[in-house]
Copies of this chain bind each other. A is one copy, B any other.
Amino acid sequence: MKPYIVGADLGGTTVKIGLFTVDELLEKWEIPTRTEENGKYILSDIAESILKELKERKISKEEVQGVGIDVPGAVLPDGTVNRAVNLGWGVLKAGPVLSELLGGIPVEVANDANAAALGEMWKGGGQGFHDVMMVTLGTGVGGGVILNGRIRTGAFGAAGEIGHMCMNPKETAVCGCGKKGCLEQYTSANGVARCAKKFLVENPKAKTTLRGIPNISSKDVFDGAKAGDYVCHQLVDEFGEMLGHGLANIASVIDPEIFVIGGGLSKAGQIVIDATKKFYLQYTFHASRETKFALASLGNDAGMYGCVKMVIDAASDQVKEDPEE
C-alpha cells in the first residue's frame, strides 16, 4: 500500500478534494465545478488541482495509491458514468480519462450517494458495520447500499435509489421523476415542507406555530415538534411512518445491520430516528427488529471519505488477486 490517497467529491457547484493517508485526512480544499461546454473542463481541473497539491507537498505520483472520485449521476458496474445532468455529462468513462490526466494514477469512480454511504461506514455513523443502508434526506431522498463492506452498484447503477420507491399508489402530486407517491415526496426536506403546507391549506382551522412562518421548511416542522406544537408532532409522525415503512420494506430485501440517516433534514437530530424507528418496528418482519439506527456524522465530507475507502479496497483486492506482488 502506497502512503497517499486522494478523494474527490464532485458536486454540481464545487469539487471537494481531500489528501489522505490510509488512516487520516491530511488536508482538504475545494475548487469550482465548471459545467460549461458539457462539463469538458471538470476532470482536467481536478487533475490539475491534485497534481499541484502533490507538487507543493513534494509527493511523487508513485507515492499515491489512487484517486477516488464520486459523481452526481448513475455509475455502471464497470465505472462508466451514465449521465450526470448537473455536470452536463452523457456517457463518460471518467476513470480512464482522469487517470490519464493524472499521469497514470489509478482512479476509482462511484455514484455520490454510494460513496457517502461507504464513507459513513468507514469513518462515520456506520463505523464498525459492514452491511449499511445509508439514507440521505436532503432536497430529495438518496440512498447507498453497502453489503459486506462494498458498494452495491446494481445491474443498471440504480441500487439504493430508494427515494423513488412508490409508497402511495393513490398519490395525485407528481414527483420530480414523473411518478407519483415516491418516498421522497414525503420524507425529503422538500417533502416534509410540502406536506406541512398542504396540511395548513386543508385544515384552515388547525392551530399551529407554523401559520406565522412565511416559507415553511422541514426544520420549522421538526423545531415545532420539539417545542410541543401538536400539528408539527403529527407531521413528524407522518414523516416517520412513511420512512419507517420504507425502511422496513428495505430490510425485507437486504436485512442490513444498520440504517444510517444523513442529509440536511437529519440535522434535526435524534427526533428523526425516534420518529422513524417507532414505525419501522410496526412494519418490519420480526427477524429484522434488532436493526440499528444511527445519524450520519461526516456531513459533506462523507463522499470524500468514501472515495478514499474505494481506493483502499481496490488496492486490497489487487493484493489478493496477485499475492506474489
Q: Which of A31-39, A100-108, A150-158 interfaces with chain B?
A: A150-158
Q: Write out, one digit per residue, whether chain A residues 276-305 have a CB within 8 A of any chain B CB (1) or not (0).
A: 000000010111101100000000000000
Interface size of A by Cβ–Cβ distance < 8 Å?
44
Residues B145 and A254 in contact, CB atoms below 8 Å apart: yes
Residues B158 and A251 in contact, CB atoms below 8 Å apart: yes
Q: Verify if A51 is at the interface (C-beta below 8 Å from B).
A: no
Q: Specify which chain B residues have a CB less than 8 angstroms from the CB of A158 in the assembled complex.
A: 251-252, 255, 285, 287-288
> In chain A between 129 and 182, which residues have their CB closer than 8 angstroms to a CB of chain B?
131, 143, 145, 147, 152-162, 164-166, 169, 177-179
Q: Write out, one digit per residue, whether chain A residues 242-281 have a CB within 8 A of any chain B CB (1) or not (0).
A: 0001001111111111000000000000000000000000
Q: Specify which chain B residues have a CB less than 8 angstroms from the CB of A241 in the assembled complex.
A: 169
Q: A254-B254, A255-B156 are in contact. Are A285 and B164 (CB under 8 A)?
A: yes
Which A residues form the contact surface with B (CB < 8 A)?
A: 74, 131, 143, 145, 147, 152-162, 164-166, 169, 177-179, 241, 245, 248-257, 283, 285-288, 290-291, 320, 323
Known contacts A159-B253, A165-B249; 20 additional CB pairs below 8 A are A131-B154, A145-B254, A155-B255, A155-B288, A156-B255, A156-B287, A156-B288, A156-B291, A157-B287, A158-B255, A160-B253, A166-B249, A166-B283, A169-B245, A177-B285, A179-B283, A249-B249, A250-B253, A253-B254, A323-B323
